[in-house]
């Protein structure tokens, strides 16, 4: 037992060496840089990257890096808009990770980084229910946001992702606006990244001097969009949700109906009228046009087929007959 203290001390020193060696190897293998951690209040990251996402990219694919600058005097709150899947959440997370890595003694994934000491990193991202205690997604979101707002300091970093989405649009916008205004006017002036689909929040930069608008750049090519994943100044006026649904493989009929309804909603909103859905858009997904005079006859013929007893050859013949009928009707 007389060597216990010596063994414990050696284990402690070896664990430190192991940690520093790991930091060094990761930094060399992934082109990390030495950050500057100072007593200021600014976070200035040039060409920052997400350390996990960049390792999961396909061979030959380069991670799109981004600059992020926050301080307590000029650019306290960055409002980030852009489509789903464009990379808003990645920018929030990589900023937090770079700050955390810098303060634990690691090099960071960026071209350069100057980090004013951060005492707390608050996050309100993702969605979850706490069914066992009777809390909805929105209630959990409000509880967590309330906890953040009651514990911020002048060195805190706040990450908010889609606050207010769990309730009605107008309620959500109102809550998101009020939260942003509270953070802006609070004496601590906590630095904040706020990713949102509420484009109405872009108006806040005209009313609050330390709120700045940024968006994730995209490129429209005809009817499709390409995510460029670059954070640029200015707000975005579109969410491109229908485009993202199309990219995800949604049936073309759903995309068509969605576009028709969107046009109706935008028209009603611009004219300050009650929402009127264009009834010419098909609201029911069907294989056949209901107005087709031969629909019932066609339907009856399909229902009359005894699928349990029909032979493969008979099935092919019947299919050919039905196909010819459709061709003739066109």
pLDDT in tens, 243-273: 777 777 788 888 888 878 877 776 766 655 5
pLDDT in the model for residue 292: 52
For residues 122-138, average pLDDT: 67
Q: Decide: helix, strand or coil at residue 148.
A: helix
Residue 231 half-sphere exposure, CB side, CA atoms within 13 Å? 27
In a domain? residue 263: yes
Task: Judge whether 163 lies within some domain.
Answer: yes
Same domain (yes/no): 182, 83: yes
| Cα–Cα distance, 201 to 211 (Å, whole number) | 10
* Domain presence at residue 323: yes
Note whether residue 136 is domain-resident: yes
Residue 45 has pLDDT above 70, yes or no: yes
Query: What is the total count of domains within the chain?
Result: 4
pLDDT for the residue 283: 45
For residues 215 and 299, state if they share a domain. no
In a domain, 186, yes or no: yes
State the pLDDT at residue 302: 74
Domain limits for position 15: 1-30
Q: Please, what's the b/e burial string for 33-55 (b: 16 or more CB within 10 A of its CB; e: otherwise)?
A: eebebeeebbbbbebbbbbeebe
The per-residue pLDDT for 225 is 75
Residues pairing with 81 in the sheet: 215
203 & 260 share domain: no
The predicted structure's pLDDT at residue 306: 74
- Residue 307 scores a pLDDT above 90: no
Q: What is the reported pTM?
A: 0.74
Q: Does residue 3 share a domain with residue 107? A: no
Q: Based on the domain organization, do 38 and 129 belong to the same domain?
A: yes
User: In whole angstroms, what is the distance from residue 259 CA to residue 243 CA?
Assistant: 10
Q: Residue 43: which CATH number? A: 3.40.50.300
Among 100, 167, 96, smallest CA distance to 127 is for 167
| Domain end marker among 175, 204, 239 | 239
Q: Is residue 246 part of a domain?
A: no
Assess whether 79 and 172 both reside in one domain: yes
The whole-number average pLDDT for the span 77-104 is 92
Strand-strand pairing, 156-161 and 120-124: parallel
The answer to whether residues 152 and 269 belong to one domain is no
Is residue 225 domain-resident?
yes
Residues 211 and 264 in one domain: no
Beta-carbon contacts of residue 203 (< 8 Å; ≥ 6 apart): none
Write the CA distances from 198 to 171, 175, 227, integer angstroms.
11, 11, 19
Tell me the C-alpha distance between 44 and 71, whole Å: 8
Residue 104 belongs to a domain: yes
- The lowest-confidence range among 118-127, 144-153, 292-301 is 292-301
Read off the pLDDT of each residue in 101-116 and give the average, rounded to a whole number.
96
Do 104 and 153 sit in the same domain of this protein? yes
């Amino acid at each position: 037992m007389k060597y216990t203290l010596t063994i414990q001390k050696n284990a402690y020193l070896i664990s430190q060496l192991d940690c520093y060696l790991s930091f060094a190897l990761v930094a060399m293998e992934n082109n990390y840089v030495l950050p500057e951690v100072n007593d200021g209040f600014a976070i200035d990251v040039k060409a920052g990257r997400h350390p996990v996402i960049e390792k999961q990219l396909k061979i030959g694919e380069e991670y799109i890096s981004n600059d992020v600058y926050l301080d307590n005097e000029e650019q306290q709150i960055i409002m980030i808009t852009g489509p789903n899947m464009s990379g808003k959440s990645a920018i929030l997370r990589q900023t937090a990770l770079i700050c955390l890595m810098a303060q634990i003694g690691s090099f960071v994934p960026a071209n350069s980084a100057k980090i004013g000491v951060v005492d707390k990193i608050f996050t309100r991202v993702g969605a979850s229910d706490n069914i066992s205690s009777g809390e909805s997604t929105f209630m959990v979101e409000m509880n967590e946001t309330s906890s953040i707002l009651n514990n911020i300091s002048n060195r805190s970093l706040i990450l908010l992702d889609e606050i207010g989405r769990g309730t009605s649009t107008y309620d959500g916008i109102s809550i998101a606006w009020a939260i942003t205004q509270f953070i802006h006017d609070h004496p601590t002036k906590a630095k904040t990244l706020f990713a949102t689909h509420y484009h109405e929040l872009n108006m806040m930069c005209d009313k609050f001097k330390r709120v700045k608008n940024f968006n994730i750049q995209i490129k429209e090519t005809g009817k499709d969009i390409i995510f460029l994943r670059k954070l640029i100044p200015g707000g975005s006026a579109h969410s491109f949700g229908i485009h993202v649904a199309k990219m995800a493989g949604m049936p073309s009929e759903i995309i068509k109906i969605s576009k028709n309804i969107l046009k109706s909603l935008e028209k009603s909103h611009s004219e300050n009228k009650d929402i009127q859905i264009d009834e010419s858009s098909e609201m029911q997904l069907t294989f056949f046009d209901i107005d087709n005079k031969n629909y019932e006859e066609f339907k009856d013929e399909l229902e009359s087929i005894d699928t349990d007893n029909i032979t493969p050859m008979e099935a092919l013949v019947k299919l050919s007959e039905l196909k010819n009928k459709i061709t003739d009707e066109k």
